[in-house]
Chains A and B, each alone.
Chain A
């Protein structure tokens, strides 16, 4: 019973972080048709930048903001140099190109920060007691913060002027261009926003398990899974899917080892793709 409670909390918290990663990925996919293989590696890079800033200044919140900004600029540069020339080509070439980017980023991180695990100390200390179990406040704070950031993104897309530009480009890029929206700039901005989301989730996740240069692939894979399960390009769907998949994985971890629990989410993905390829958490298309 206690275990189920703890695992539910774990699942929810991990689900919120994953939702943040996935919302960046799904934003990029929905608007640019790009499956960003380097998403997890941008997350990893953001976490390292954050860890370095925490190391120098000791200020976690400053690190969160600066890491997001740095990776946003990097994302914009990446989009302008490697992805813009590929617009109009087969979408699969963008997977290949971002895969190349992911290799470069991973080895750069290894070169810059070495193979060892970096710890980011928790900015919010202390545990609270739930029945007779200790649970760290930081994890709860992370989940809430992730929820706030996602809500901010949603509000921006819904009501902000540039958010409306972005949604217009998603719906019909030719028409958007005709209305005077600078579509190439919107692409770059969207990639930058997605990268910033990845970086911020990296810094948020950092205190959980430490930062390593190989953590990116794991996140890319999991974000892919929830984005497909939630319906490609659907923000709300991927958030629900993140929580759903994380909860399932947490419960599975009670029975088998965490390494094997990953298979549960793989199975969910395969079943979704077979029986409901438009996504689990979207209305049935007519």
Chain B
């Protein structure tokens, strides 16, 4: 999205770290004080936020709108399911690893083809690739369980064989929080590195970036792969939380929601997608109480209104401060 912002000012960002510490502190305490439903809800927001953040690498930083993130998310789920169903005894870490490998492999495949295309064509080709994965998963019943998906039991939390315990919702929340926080800091570091700067210059002016001598295609491929890996991580976490992998999560609707999270929260901020996910899921929760499945009607209207009148999203005004 070739929007605004020039190079972020190099201001001292003490306020940023304090803000981050406060939010993380609140998220650590949250499961201890919230009732079970909201506890689980908080964990879900973190996972969907991670997925949306992975998409922000493309939408916000490289200027490529991906409508195919459900493929990476879904393959992360199925990868985790494969590890937990085939490897004995089931291991949490192998689940995450398999999820990452599956999503990464898909990302390489999609990146190789899709990054040759730009703008709308990139968006359509990612959408089409995700539908290819959906059709394969949906129809290959012997391996993927087809429409019913795969179910498994949650693995134990183990650290290097030293200690092992069953997950409680609280410890799982903390586990997700750690994974998400580490991912966020990693991605933030990447977007501020020289590599990330090249991505942003592709967003601002692709021909000029190419003219300066950067191999734009290679940068784009790496960006899609990186994005796919984090999306796969989110998928693996979601599979671990819900103890299943289902084709619904490979379907295009999930990709659409990811884009909505980004637009609502603010593209190009990394934390914006988390805010967007929280905003969307809270609205959905609130609206579906009395509108059941028709919550998407008011939500869709809010989304359109936000595109027209608030293209920066909820946290867009913080964009400079979050990136410095």
Contact = CB atoms under 8 A, between A and B. Distances in A.
B215 to A, nearest CB: 18
Contacts of B67: 95
B121 to A, nearest CB: 6
Contact of A90 (B1, B296, B301, B304): B1
A1 interface: no
B4 to A, nearest CB: 11
A90 B119 CA distance: 10
Contacts, number: 104
B155 interface: no
A104 interface: yes
B269 interface: no
Contacts of A277: 117, 121
Given A82-B304, A111-B294, A263 B119 contact: no
A221 B300 contact: no
A228 B122 CA distance: 12
A260 B135 contact: yes
Which of A85, A100, A266, A270 counts the most chain B CB atoms within 10 A? A100
A91 B119 contact: yes
Which of B2, B116, B296, B299 counts the most chain A CB atoms within 10 A? B296
Contacts of B308: 82, 85-86, 97
A18 interface: no
A103 B296 contact: yes
Interface residues of B, number: 40
Interface in B189-221: none
A219 interface: no
Contacts of A273: 113, 116-117, 121, 125
B43 to A, nearest CB: 25
Nearest to A84: B308
B124 interface: yes
Interface of A: 35, 82, 85-86, 89-93, 95-97, 99-101, 103-104, 106-108, 110-111, 217, 221, 224-225, 228, 257, 259-260, 262-263, 266, 269-270, 273-274, 277
7 contacts: A90-B1, A100-B301, A100-B304, A104-B301, A269-B128, A274-B113, A274-B116
